Amino acid sequence: MTTPTIDHYRTQYEAWAGQLPGQPLPWLQRTREAALKRFAHLGFPTVRDEEWKYTRVTPIAEHLFTPAAQACIGLDRDDLAPLRIAGAASHLLVFVNGHFAPSLSRPGRLPDGVTLSSLAAAVEQQPEELEPYLGRVSDPDASGFCALNTAFLTDGAYLWLPDGAVIEEPIELLFLTTRQAEAVFSQPRNLFVVGDRARATVIESYASLSDSGHFTNAITEAVVGNGAALEHIRLQGESDQAFHVATVAVRQGRDSRFTSHALGLGGRLTRTDINTVLDGEGAECTLNGLYVAAGHRHVDFHTRIDHARPRCTSRELYKGILNGAARAVFNGKIYVHPDAQQTDAQQANRNLLLSPRAEVDTKPQLEIYADDVKCSHGATVGQLDEDAVFYLRSRGVDATTARHLLTYAFAGEVVARIGDGGVRCHVEERLAARLGEEQVIQQARQLAEGIEA
């Protein structure tokens, strides 16, 4: 990392420090300053770093981004309708350029004791609740991106569920970036604390309101208590000129369940890390992922599941569809600690290449230090099955529709795992738009239903 780049972000921090929430809090100030020093030491990662050897972040490092100012002038709730995922029944929080937009949000009626607010408001009003968790689940030293987010920690969503609380409706977090006069970054920071036996579904989605090349650097931390359940749906659908780096860090208690659906459908250069620690006996986690890229886009997913206690279960399925000269990276690690006997873990990564120029680097990993385990992993990279295409054409389906049908079916295995029907339908529509002509996809879906019948 060049000195001018480090100096730039240090100068930006000094300029914005007085506007960051929680300035009077010594613990938060120490956290921010330590993260800034760590960023100055680490800089942005390079291909010499093992965890980043296939993802070159030079386009991000070369831009001198400035913090985005809040700007929702001219926006109203009707403008959000095409971007909404969960529909009118959800609890909606909207963030514009990384800042909470109360005029666009609609939290809805929540059970007693539940807190759903902006992180900035929670820092000011109830910092004692945040201190044990904020910055304690994710590792600010993991990369320069994590350190930079922690240094500029400003706003995001805060969810607190007391023991036994259940939220039936999805909680939708919508992060929007507007057109700016210069290259800007936002640093969303989310914290979810799910108490014992509590249950919730959170949808975290990112979208651009222009085709500008902005930079989103997000962190989501979640603590899932004993016997609790959290379903997390993350949709990255920003413009094809946007840069997006994200970390999702989860710590699970005894007999807890965490389900993740990570969807990468946009962005010029994107990287998402999802790390969960099964820190209680009998915990379960499921990681589902789908990435679709074309042109010269680059998409990278890294996952890590730490089996730290006995009798825990994990299931992981990631799929990728690549066209043009797109490139994808998948690195999934299952780490079984010495005390994690009777671990049951399965991992799979499957990739479909629609162009001879598309590339994928896939690396599923098992690192096992216990002897009583049942673990498996695997990866595949291939093209459409020409025999399947021929079969569909023999049934009267034209070649284009046949290929769309098979491509859609390949992705549909992951989408079908989303529990909420309304959310699943929205994701299907977004996927159809990303894969090609929506009309062809609709025809393919109808044909699929007819063939199944």
Q: What is the pLDDT of residues 9-56, one digit of tens each?
A: 999 998 888 888 888 899 999 999 999 999 999 999 999 999 999 999
pLDDT in tens, 399-414: 887 888 888 889 889 9
Helix, strand or coil for residue 269? strand
Residue 444 has pLDDT above 70, yes or no: no
Give the C-alpha separation, 318 to 378, whole Å: 11
Contact 251, 220 (CB under 8 A): no
What rounded mean pLDDT belongs to the chain? Answer: 90
Q: According to the 3-state scheme, what is the secondary structure of 165-201? A: CECCCCEEEEEEECCCCCCEEECCEEEEEECCCCEEE
Q: pTM of the entire structure?
A: 0.93
Query: For residue 342, what is the DSSP state?
Result: T
Amino acid 445: pLDDT: 55
The predicted pLDDT at position 10 comes to 92
Per domain, the residue ranges of the chain are: 3-280, 385-453
- 207-211, 233-237, 252-256, 402-406: range with lowest mean pLDDT: 402-406
Higher per-residue confidence, 389 vs 226? 226
Contacts of 18 (CB under 8 A, 6+ apart): none
Hey, what are 263's tokens?
């969807």
Residue that is written with structure tokens 């009118």 in the block: 88
pLDDT of residue 384: 87
What pLDDT band is residue 439 in, cutting at 50, 70 and 90? low
- Residue 260: both structure tokens together: 């993740």
Task: Report the share of the chain in percent with pLDDT over 70.
Answer: 94
H/E segment holding residue 36: helix 26-42
pLDDT digits (tens, 9 = 90+) for 340-365: 999 999 999 999 999 999 999 999 99
What pLDDT is recorded for position 255? 98
Please give the Cα distance from 156 to 139 (Å, whole number): 18
Cα 451 vs. chain centroid, distance in angstroms? 34
Query: What is the rounded (10 degree) CA torsion for 223, 224, 230, 232?
Result: 30
- Per the CB < 8 A criterion, the answer to whether 348 and 377 are in contact is yes
The 10s digit of each residue's pLDDT in 137-193 is 998 888 999 999 999 999 999 999 999 999 999 999 999 998 776 788 999 999 999
Alpha-carbon distance of 85 to 96, in angstroms, equals 17
Predicted local distance difference test score (pLDDT) of residue 333: 97
pLDDT at 419: 83
Q: Where are the beta strands (DSSP E) in 237-296?
A: 243-252, 257-264, 269-278, 284-293
**In the beta sheet, which residues pair with residue 222?**
192, 250
Q: Helix 144-151 and helix 26-42: axis angle, to 10°?
A: 150
The predicted pLDDT at position 446 comes to 63
